[in-house]
Structure formats: C-alpha cells, structure tokens
C-alpha cells in the first residue's frame, strides 16, 4: 500500500523531490524510512521512477530542463522531432518538437545528437530548443529511389516517415528508378524536403525477396558469411568422434516442421523399469553437439556471437552458422552418425523430474518425422515411416507427454494462444495465399520435452552456481498490470485484486475468454502485459513457465545462448576440453545483453518482412471490405486486425470524426455523437483504402 502511495505522490509532483519530502508528506517515520528507501529502489528497477542529481526522484518519463536527444523524425512541414537518448529503453519515449525558426535547426539531420532545453509542454508534445549540436553523424536510411528531373527522391521504408528525401544528381550513386538503396541523410533542405546521398544500390524493389531484403537492411542483420568463417566450417568435416557413449541402437527421432532443414533435437521415451517408479518414464533428449565443431575464439564462434541467432523470414532463413554445419554436420539427419549431448530424464507418473544424467554420445536418428506425421500416427493413421515405430517410439513419447502435461497444468504455465499466419509462395516467389499454422499436440509434445531438457540443464548448472547464461522472465510490473486490468474490464474480464500475480491467474483470464470472439485479443493483451524474456547470467527464474530454473539448451544450431550453455555443461561435468573458457566467463553479462538484443532485432525483421509481403499481396484488394476486429485505440488512431490475413491496419481518426468525438482512455472506448461506441475486441467491417508494400503500412476505413 505504501508503494502505491509513494508512486502516486511522485506522479502528482511536477518536479523532482527528495526522499525527506516524500517521507514528510506521507508521514513515514522511524524504521519505515528504511522501507521507503527499498520502495524507491524497487520503483527505479521497475522503470517507474528515476534518480536525479542531489538524490532527488521523479517519474521515469519526466525530463530534466536540459538533456541529450536524437533526431528521429523530420516531417513534410519541416518540423523536427527528437527523443531523449536515456529514454530509448522505454517502449514509448517522450517526443520533443524543436522550436521552429531556429537557425541551428538547419544544421541537423536524421540521427543527429543534440543538447536541448525543454521550453514548455504543447499538449501531447514537448517543445525544445537546441543548445548545442553534439554529433552531426548522419543516419543511414533504407528506401526506394525514384528518378526526377531535378535528381531523384527516396521513399523511406519507415512507415513513420511520411516524407521523401531529395537526392542531388551528383549524389545518386548510379541508382536506377525503383532500386532499393542505402543512403545517408545530409544537413540542409531542398524546398522543404530533407536531403540524402545514395551509398549503395541493392536490387529493384519488384524482385522477389525485396520485402525480406529491406527488413534485413533496416535491422542491420549480417547476411553474408566471411571467407574465414566458411573456411573454418569446411575444416570441421575432418573432425573424428572419440570418447562418446554409443546411442545408435536407440530409436531416437526428430519431429519438425515440413520445411525444416536444421534438425538439432531428437527424442526417445520408454516406460521406466524401476519398480519404485510405477507408471513413470525414462526420456532421452539428444541435442546436436555444436560445441564439438564451433570452438571458443574461432571464426565460427565470432560470427555466431555476432549474429546471436538465426533469423526466420517468410521466404528465407539467415542462419547463425554456415549451411555445412546448420543443415549438414550438426543436423540430426536420419540414418547418419551424429555427435550429440544427451540428457536422460526420469519422471514419475505425475510428470515430476526425479533423476537426470548427461553424456556426450554418438547417435543415429531412425526417422525424420513432421508434426503432422507424428500426430496422424498417434491418431491411428500410420504411413510407411511411422508404422514400424508405433510401439517403440510413437506410443511411448505420447505417454510421457501426458505425464509432463499434468506437471505443466500444476505449475499454472501461461498458455498464450495467438494464431500464427504462414505465407505460401508461388514458384515465382510471390505471395500465393496465407494460411493459419496448425497447432497440434505433436507441437506441444516437443515443447514439453524441450522445456524438461532446459530445466534439467538449468538445475544442474545452478548447483554450485556454475557460470552460465539463463533464460529469465520477470513477473509483470504494477503499472503493466494496472493497464491490463483497465483494458480487460472493458471486456468484462477482471484480474484478482490485491494479490501477487502468479501464472495461473493469467491462465484463468485466458480460460474466461476461451469461447468469446475476443479470445485472440485477450491473448495479445496478456502477452503485452508480460515482461520481455531475456538472457542473463543471474538465474532469477521464468515467471511465464512457472519455473525456478530455466535456460536455453536445445537449439545450439540457431541460438548462441544454447552454445554457451553446452560449453558450460561440458566444463562443469568434465565432458571434454572444449567447454566454457575463462575469457567467455568474464563476459557473460555483455554476451547476454548482446544476444537479447539480436533476438529482438530478428523479431523486428520477421515482423517487418511479413507486413511488407502482406501489404503487397493486399494491394489487389484495395476498396474491398473485410471482417475486422478492433485491436487497439489511442489518442490518434484506431487499430483493426483482419483475422483472415493476420495483419493490422490503421483507421485514422480523421475518417471517423463525424461519427465519434470522444475517447475514454481508461475504458478504451470511442464514444459517438448518437450514443454509439467503439471498443476493443469489437467486430467491425473494414475497407482497405491504401496498402504500401514499401513500408508495410495498411490504411483502413470503417465500412
């Protein structure tokens, strides 16, 4: 209760205040002042408040009178907008408009770092004045170049920038109309337009794969392997297997998607023969031994660390490791000898882990199954591959899965169910159709086996505090919970009050929405309320899974975190000389931060590419009406999703002002002139007004 009062008081103050001022106002005395200090430190960690010079506190989003910012937007009217550099970790940092008619404004361009003075608040936007230009470093932009009589223009791929850059003829770099280009911004303007210089032309934007190429360039994802890395990968073919257990007679299988090529995990299960574990199971999860081929400090290791992870775009994969490893030596292909690290897990009939054992081994997958194949076999529809292994493989793995499922339910794991759309391409690389990916029990089976392996490894490495990278997920902050409660209340769904949230509370919310048309929306709202999972050397647990110990171990082909964990396990259990070296141990904090960032980078690229492919596909439906669902309402726009294609579009307020005039932010409702209202989750008819496949933007209107 005191924490809530402290935050409320700081929110009500228009300036920073000291701890003594807070204590006096809230009448905090004696030992309670120690509690007050802890509360203030907790609020800082939760990014609710921040500490200024002189031990004074203010809201995290309140700004000092002078601060360093970065120019992030210059609109058609020449208005320049910037955001505080120190606020970049927040999802919505404050936007500051530079005071017009200042001569210094002409000396800055996109990306310039400037020291400004906050002058006043102008409605939603703060007004600032340039005090000093710190860095004129120019931002690189990705866009499409168009020739004009005066030179050329670049249409940026950033949907937030509604203007075009002017390019002088001497700055075109030989670019042709329609080329995707990388350019750098220049100071100054040409008849009100910002200016730029072409650095490199890539390909014509009409060519297949342009949507992914733009996403790769925008997110600066490395997509070409250095020669030294490829040479080292070639040498890996000569490595010889020694000192390994032999699991080649055990019928391990891989189960993946139909289009998968990198099979890095295989599974097996059998009834436990121990009489003291009646109806229990012995599970083996064998993971490709990537650490055997990728040694610390080598070129492969350097490249894998830089990429952080593989990036899966709708039409291609940017792998973390060269193909000779990712689709070859480290891929657990059927009937081929492969190096692996195997985890033996014994569980009881309730899915509780009672024992584990780890070993480096040699394996030979007896079959490569797809999710559909495994599921069909489980349902009695076998084929030439699954029929011979029904009793030895299919039935036992599903038996163990049922036990693991019981344990998952007991933990109260948050079950987010958001339909995933898959783009189907024709032979020319163009979008042919969009389908919803099936979510089968076989998918969940593999997930449970992998979660068990990850938990087992995390427990092993947590004992004696061995240095490692963990996959951590903090519980939601109070501010996010308040927003979730406020939004859910408009859908007549409520969080339990005055309790510390647990995963099962979010499961209950999702269960309440199960048979309502807002089910997908509620899943998204719950997902938005959660903290972002990340990597860390500190084992703080995984809130969403309800696990105290968790790491990523099962995908070393496509995640650098898993490779680090493999090395840590090798070192701790003395399974070889290729474990975690001391230089890496000293950099785990830095590596964790880097691979958390590369993961977000890949997610952004995947989202960008999907939106552009879909925007191009939907161009032919301009003017057509579709079923939509209101997915968001802000002070400026309405967001609607077209479920058929899994894409969101914007309905600008200007198109609905004659019908709606007031936005109730607390209830997330637009109130109309004649008593009608628009709320989250409401089914509506939308018309596609504009589809921009260069930016991936979709503009809709209420039909």
**435, pLDDT greater than 50:** yes
Top mean pLDDT of 13-17, 313-317, 513-517, 527-531 is at 313-317
Across 247-275, average pLDDT: 94
Question: Given this model, what pLDDT does residue 86 score?
Answer: 67
Number of domains the chain is built from: 6
List of residues 6+ apart from 552 with CB closer than 8 A: 454, 469, 471, 535, 559, 561, 562, 565
Handedness of CA 169, 172, 175, 176 (dihedral sign): negative
Q: What is the dihedral of CA 22, 27, 33, 37, to 10 degrees?
A: -30
**300, pLDDT greater than 80:** yes
List of residues 6+ apart from 512 with CB closer than 8 A: 493
Q: How confident is the model at residue 669 (pLDDT cuts 50, 70, 90)?
A: confident
Q: What Rg do the C-alpha atoms of the chain give, in angstroms?
A: 28
Q: How confident is the model at residue 70 (pLDDT cuts 50, 70, 90)?
A: confident
Percent above pLDDT 90 for the chain: 56
The answer for 55, left when phi > 0, alpha when psi is -120 to 50, beta otherwise, is left
Whether residues 185 and 291 share a domain: the answer is no
| Burial call 514-547: b when 16+ CB within 10 Å, e when fewer | eeeebbbbbbbbbeebbeebbbbbebebbbbbbb
Q: Which tokens hold the place of 190?
A: 């040409």
The answer for 681, left when phi > 0, alpha when psi is -120 to 50, beta otherwise, is left
Question: Given this model, what pLDDT does residue 583 score?
Answer: 93
Q: What is the secondary structure of 635-659 as a DSSP string? A: SSEEEEEETTTTEEEEEEGGGTTTT
CA–CA gap between residue 655 and residue 30 (Å, rounded): 58
CB atoms within 10 A of CB 274: 12
List of residues 6+ apart from 457 with CB closer than 8 A: 343, 358, 551, 553, 565, 569
**Which has the closest alpha carbon to 134: 167, 90, 85, 100?**
85
Name the more confident of 106 and 352.
352
- Indicate whether 577 belongs to any domain: yes
Q: How confident is the model at residue 25 (pLDDT cuts 50, 70, 90)?
A: confident
Whether residues 127 and 152 share a domain: the answer is no
The answer for 546, left when phi > 0, alpha when psi is -120 to 50, beta otherwise, is left
Q: How confident is the model at residue 269 (pLDDT cuts 50, 70, 90)?
A: very high
Whether residues 161 and 116 share a domain: the answer is no
List of residues 6+ apart from 581 with CB closer than 8 A: 296, 297, 567
Whether residues 414 and 449 share a domain: the answer is yes
Name the more confident of 65 and 219.
219
Q: How confident is the model at residue 136 (pLDDT cuts 50, 70, 90)?
A: low
Helices and strands, counts by H and E, the chain: 16, 34
| CA distance to 8, 208, 272, 603, per residue, from 204 (Å) | 54, 9, 60, 25
CA–CA gap between residue 128 and residue 204 (Å, rounded): 40
Phi and psi dihedrals of 293, rounded to 5?
Answer: -100, -30
- Indicate whether 251 belongs to any domain: yes
- Indicate whether 289 belongs to any domain: yes
Question: Given this model, what pLDDT does residue 91 score?
Answer: 41
Beta strands 113-122 and 66-74: pairing type? antiparallel
- Digit-coded pLDDT (tens) for 484-536: 887 888 788 888 877 788 888 898 888 888 877 788 888 888 888 888 999 99
CATH of the domain at 144: 2.40.50.690
| CA distance to 176, 371, 373, per residue, from 534 (Å) | 42, 28, 33
CA–CA gap between residue 434 and residue 426 (Å, rounded): 11
Question: Given this model, what pLDDT does residue 127 score?
Answer: 82
Q: What is the secondary structure of 559-576 as a DSSP string? A: BHHHHHHHHHHHHHTT--
- Digit-coded pLDDT (tens) for 398-433: 999 999 999 998 888 888 888 888 999 998 888 999
Q: Which tokens hold the place of 342?
A: 């195997």
Burial (0-12, 13-18, 19+ Cβ within 10 Å), 100:
exposed
Q: Which tokens hold the place of 92?
A: 């919505």
Whether residues 325 and 447 share a domain: the answer is yes
3-class DSSP state for residue 198?
Answer: strand
CB atoms within 10 A of CB 229: 20
Whether residues 513 and 541 share a domain: the answer is no
- Digit-coded pLDDT (tens) for 182-222: 999 887 788 878 899 999 999 999 998 999 999 999 999 99
3-class DSSP state for residue 511?
Answer: helix
Q: Do 6 and 36 contact (CB within 8 A), yes or no?
A: yes
Place of tokens 């120190």: 86
Question: Given this model, what pLDDT does residue 564 score?
Answer: 98
Question: Given this model, what pLDDT does residue 389 score?
Answer: 97
Whether residues 197 and 333 share a domain: the answer is no
CATH of the domain at 130: 2.40.50.140
Q: Which tokens hold the place of 96?
A: 């500051």
Whether residues 42 and 184 share a domain: the answer is no
Domain boundary among 556, 581, 606: 606
Q: Does the global pTM surpass 0.85?
A: no
Report the Cα 149 to chain-centroid distance in Å. Answer: 43
Domain boundary among 14, 33, 59: 59
- Indicate whether 614 belongs to any domain: no
CA–CA gap between residue 160 and residue 450 (Å, rounded): 39
Domain boundary among 40, 59, 78: 59
Point out which residues pair with 126 in neighbouring strands: 96, 121
CA–CA gap between residue 308 and residue 529 (Å, rounded): 26
- Indicate whether 611 belongs to any domain: no
3-class DSSP state for residue 149?
Answer: coil
Q: What is the dihedral of CA 577, 582, 588, 590, to 10 degrees?
A: -130
**311, pLDDT greater than 80:** yes
Helices 299-307 and 227-235 meet at what angle, rounded to 10? 120
Across 371-375, average pLDDT: 97
Q: Do 330 and 264 contact (CB within 8 A), yes or no?
A: yes
Q: Which tokens hold the place of 126?
A: 């703060």
- Indicate whether 221 belongs to any domain: no
Structural domain harbouring 165: 140-207
Question: Given this model, what pLDDT does residue 260 score?
Answer: 87
Whether residues 246 and 321 share a domain: the answer is yes
The lowest-confidence range among 6-15, 92-101, 302-311, 532-541 is 6-15
Across 5-24, average pLDDT: 77
List of residues 6+ apart from 316 with CB closer than 8 A: 209, 212
Q: What is the mean pLDDT of the chain?
A: 88
- Indicate whether 627 belongs to any domain: yes
CA–CA gap between residue 348 and residue 407 (Å, rounded): 10
Phi and psi dihedrals of 252, rounded to 5?
Answer: -75, 145
Q: How confident is the model at residue 678 (pLDDT cuts 50, 70, 90)?
A: confident
Across 289-297, average pLDDT: 96
- Indicate whether 219 belongs to any domain: no
Phi and psi dihedrals of 422, rounded to 5?
Answer: -120, 130
Question: Given this model, what pLDDT does residue 76 score?
Answer: 58
Q: How confident is the model at residue 84 (pLDDT cuts 50, 70, 90)?
A: confident
CB atoms within 10 A of CB 238: 6
Whether residues 266 and 309 share a domain: the answer is yes
Beta strands 337-347 and 281-288: pairing type? antiparallel
Question: Given this model, what pLDDT does residue 88 score?
Answer: 40
Whether residues 259 and 146 share a domain: the answer is no
Whether residues 648 and 524 share a domain: the answer is no
CA–CA gap between residue 96 and residue 113 (Å, rounded): 13
CATH of the domain at 39: 1.10.10.10
Percent above pLDDT 70 for the chain: 92
């Amino acid at each position: 209760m005191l924490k809530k009062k402290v935050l409320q008081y700081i929110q009500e103050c228009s300036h920073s205040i000291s701890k003594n001022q807070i204590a006096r106002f809230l009448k905090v005395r004696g030992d309670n002042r120690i509690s007050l200090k802890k509360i203030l430190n907790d609020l800082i960690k939760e990014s609710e408040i921040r500490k200024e010079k002189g031990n004074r506190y203010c809201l995290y989003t309140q700004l000092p009178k002078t601060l360093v910012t970065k120019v992030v937007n210059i609109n058609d009217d020449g208005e320049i907008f910037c955001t505080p550099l120190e606020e970049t970790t927040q999802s919505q940092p404050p936007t500051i408009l530079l005071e017009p008619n200042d001569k210094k404004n002409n000396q800055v361009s996109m990306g310039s770092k400037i020291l400004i003075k906050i002058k006043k608040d102008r409605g939603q936007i703060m007004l600032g004045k340039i005090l000093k230009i710190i860095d004129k470093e120019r931002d690189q932009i990705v866009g499409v170049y168009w020739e004009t009589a005066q030179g050329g223009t670049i249409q940026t791929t950033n949907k937030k920038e509604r203007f075009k850059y002017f390019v002088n003829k001497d700055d075109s770099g030989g670019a042709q109309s329609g080329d995707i280009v990388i350019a750098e911004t220049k100071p100054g303007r040409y008849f009100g337009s910002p200016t730029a210089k072409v650095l490199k032309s890539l390909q014509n934007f009409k060519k297949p794969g342009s949507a992914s190429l733009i996403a790769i360039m925008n997110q600066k994802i490395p997509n070409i392997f250095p020669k030294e890395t490829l040479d080292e990968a070639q040498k890996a073919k000569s490595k010889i297997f020694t000192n390994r257990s032999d699991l080649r007679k055990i019928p391990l299988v891989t189960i993946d998607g139909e289009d998968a090529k990198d099979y890095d995990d295989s599974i097996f299960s059998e009834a436990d023969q121990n009489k003291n574990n009646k109806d229990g199971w012995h599970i083996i999860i064998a993971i490709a031994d990537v650490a055997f081929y990728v040694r610390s400090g080598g070129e492969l290791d350097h490249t894998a660390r830089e990429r952080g992870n593989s990036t899966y775009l709708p039409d291609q994969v940017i792998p973390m490791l060269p193909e000779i490893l990712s689709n070859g030596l480290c891929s657990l292909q059927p009937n081929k000898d492969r190096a692996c690290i195997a985890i033996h897990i014994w569980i009881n009939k309730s899915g509780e882990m009672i024992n584990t054992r780890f070993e480096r081994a040699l394996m030979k997958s007896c079959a490569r199954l797809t999710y559909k194949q495994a599921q069909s076999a489980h349902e009695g529809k076998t084929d030439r591959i699954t029929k011979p292994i029904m009793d030895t493989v299919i039935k036992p793995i599903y038996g163990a899965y049922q036990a693991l499922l019981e344990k998952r339910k007991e933990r109260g794991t948050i079950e987010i169910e958001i339909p995933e759309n898959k783009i189907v391409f024709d032979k020319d690389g163009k979008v042919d159709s969009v389908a919803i990916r099936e979510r089968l029990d076989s998918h969940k089976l593999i997930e449970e086996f992998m979660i068990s392996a990850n938990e087992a490894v995390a427990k092993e490495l947590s004992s004696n505090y061995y240095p490692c990278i963990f996959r951590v997920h903090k519980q939601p902050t109070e501010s996010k919970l308040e927003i979730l409660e406020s939004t859910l209340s408009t859908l007549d769904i409520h969080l339990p009050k005055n309790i510390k949230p647990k995963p099962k509370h979010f499961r209950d919310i999702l269960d309440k929405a199960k048979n309502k048309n807002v089910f997908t929306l509620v899943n998204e709202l719950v997902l938005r309320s959660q903290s972002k999972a990340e990597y860390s050397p500190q084992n703080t647990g995984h809130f969403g899974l309800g696990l105290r110990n968790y790491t990523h171990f099962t995908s070393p082909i496509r995640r650098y975190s898993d490779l680090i964990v493999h090395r840590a396990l090798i070192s701790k259990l003395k399974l070889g000389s290729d474990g975690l070296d001391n230089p890496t141990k000293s950099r785990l904090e830095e590596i964790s931060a880097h691979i958390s960032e590369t993961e977000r980078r890949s997610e952004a690229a995947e989202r960008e590419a999907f939106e552009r492919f879909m925007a191009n596909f939907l161009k032919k439906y301009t003017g057509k009406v579709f079923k939509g669902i209101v997915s968001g309402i802000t002070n400026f726009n309405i967001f609607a999703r077209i479920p058929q294609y899994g894409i969101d579009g914007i309905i600008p307020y200007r198109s609905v002002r004659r019908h709606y005039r007031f936005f109730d932010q607390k209830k997330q409702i637009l109130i109309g002139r004649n008593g009608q209202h628009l709320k989250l989750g409401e089914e509506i008819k939308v018309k596609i007004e504009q589809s921009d496949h260069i930016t991936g933007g979709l503009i809709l209107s209420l039909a």
